[in-house]
Every structure is written in structure tokens, then in C-alpha cells.
């Protein structure tokens, strides 16, 4: 089955087209300010470059947040429109789970940190014994200063919020807490697609008319 995955939850978004467990193409979107104008052209390009038609899509997956307000709204609106018009399943996937799932089979818990503005972070704690994460805690929004005290060790920390809050977090962390490589701290649509396939098998789809983003905070 052909599945299109849209991730627009952070400053760097991406699209992926997969057939079964094979990634046909992944496409980067560099700015949330351009999502409105580049998302659908990106979908058209990824289909054209892989020789597929939009009518061939069997499911659409989307990252539901938390994350960038503008990006989430545009991504969900696009995914919902595609799923509704194609009459295909819409698969929502939480953004924190996408970030954790980039470390499958990791032997210790994986903590995900995203910037929530105003000195706060979005936080989730997971185990990743398989291809998909198991939620241990979250999603939560909390002051960044409260985060170190609740971290288990050993632990792998990941997420784009690490760069933003490095000065606060780094001096207060146990040596058993490892930081993920910087290149792995951004969500990827190919990872989103992998989780969406698993959710689709479990029947975890959404009604396009009812799906809303997970913001965890009021608009600024």
C-alpha cells in the first residue's frame, strides 16, 4: 500500500512516500513560514518523481504535535483534505513518538524535549524495544528548570529543544544521560510513516472532520 506521510511540526518539516516498508522518497521542507506555499507542491513533486499518482495513495499520515502552531495547522489541514478527497485512512501520529522512534531497539529509556517557548518545554519519556515506542510519561508541558529532576538514568535525550535549552540542561544532567547526535534530533517523515503503518494495522485512524492538533499550550 502506498502511504504519504507529512511532518510539519517543527522548523524543519518533511514528506515521505512509502510502499509497504520501502521508502520511495523523502523530501525536506526547510521553513514553517513556507509550509503554506510549498507543502502541496512538495506532495506533487514527490509523486511525480516516483512515478505515482495521487489517486494511488492508500493512506495519509500526519504528525499531530505538539510543535509549531502554524506548521501543525497547515499539515493537518492538508492531510485531512487529502484523506477526505481520496476517501482513504487518515493516520495521526504524535510528534514526540516520532522523535523517540528514531532510536528503535535502544536499550534504555528515550526522553524527548521540544521547545514550548517562554522557558518551557514539551516532554515525553519512552521505551523503544521495538520499531515503535512505548509511552512512559507525557506528553507534558513544563518549565525547563523542572526537567533535570525528573530524568531517569541511564537515558538518551533527543529532540530539537535540546539546542534551545542546552545552557540550562547540560550542567545539571547525570553523566549517564546521553545526548542524541544533532542530526537525529529532528523528526523525519520516513519515521512517521513507519509508525503510521503500525497504527494502521491496529486500526488507529482518525475522522478527518474531528482530528485536531495537540498544542499543549495556548497560542502566543
Domains 2-94+188-201 and 96-184 share a fold: yes
- Note the helical H segments in 24-149: 35-49, 69-86, 95-100
Exposure b/e, 195-206, CB count within 10 A at least 16 = b: bbbebbeeeebb
- Rounded Cα distance between 203 and 50, Å, is 27
The DSSP bridge pattern shows strands 120-128 and 106-117 to be antiparallel
Q: What is the pLDDT along the chain (220 residues), one digit of tens a residue?
A: 999 999 999 988 999 999 999 999 999 987 667 788 899 999 999 999 999 999 999 999 999 999 999 999 999 999 999 999 999 999 999 999 999 999 999 999 999 999 999 999 999 999 999 889 999 999 999 999 999 999 999 999 999 999 999 999 999 999 999 999 999 999 999 999 999 999 999 999 999 999 999 999 775 5
CATH architecture of 2-94+188-201: 2-Layer Sandwich (3.30)
Assigned CATH for 96-184: 3.30.420.40
Domain ranges of the chain: 2-94+188-201, 96-184
E-strand spans in the chain? 2-7, 13-19, 22-29, 59-63, 90-93, 106-117, 120-128, 134-143, 155-158, 177-179
Amino acid at each position: 500500500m502506498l502511504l504519504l506521510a507529512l511532518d510539519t511540526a517543527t522548523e524543519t518539516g518533511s514528506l515521505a512516500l512509502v510502499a509497504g516498508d520501502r521508502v520511495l522518497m523523502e523530501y525536506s521542507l526547510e521553513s514553517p513560514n513556507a509550509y503554506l506555499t510549498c507543502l502541496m507542491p512538495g506532495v506533487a513533486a514527490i509523486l511525480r518523481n516516483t512515478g505515482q499518482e495521487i489517486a494511488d495513495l492508500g493512506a495519509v499520515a500526519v504528525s499531530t504535535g505538539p510543535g509549531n502552531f502554524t506548521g501543525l495547522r497547515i499539515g493537518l489541514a492538508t492531510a485531512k483534505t487529502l484523506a477526505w478527497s481520496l476517501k482513504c485512512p487518515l493516520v495521526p501520529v504524535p510528534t514526540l513518538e516520532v522523535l523517540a522512534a528514531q532510536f528503535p531497539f535502544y536499550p534504555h529509556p528515550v526522553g524527548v524535549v521540544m521547545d514550548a517557548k517562554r522557558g518551557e518545554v514539551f516532554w515525553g519519556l519512552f521505551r523503544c524495544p521495538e520499531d515503535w515506542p512505548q509511552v512512559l510519561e507525557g506528553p507534558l508541558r513544563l518549565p525547563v528548570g523542572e526537567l533535570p529532576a525528573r530524568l531517569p538514568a541511564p537515558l538518551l535525550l533527543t529532540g530539537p529543544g535540546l539546542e534551545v535549552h542546552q545552557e540550562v540542561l547540560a550542567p545539571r544532567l547525570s553523566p549517564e544521560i546521553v545526548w542524541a547526535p544533532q542530526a537525529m534530533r529532528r523528526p523525519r517523515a520516513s519515521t512517521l510513516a513507519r509508525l503510521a503503518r503500525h497504527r494502521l494495522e491496529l486500526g488507529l485512524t482518525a475522522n478527518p472532520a474531528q482530528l485536531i492538533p495537540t498544542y499543549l499550550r495556548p497560542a502566543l
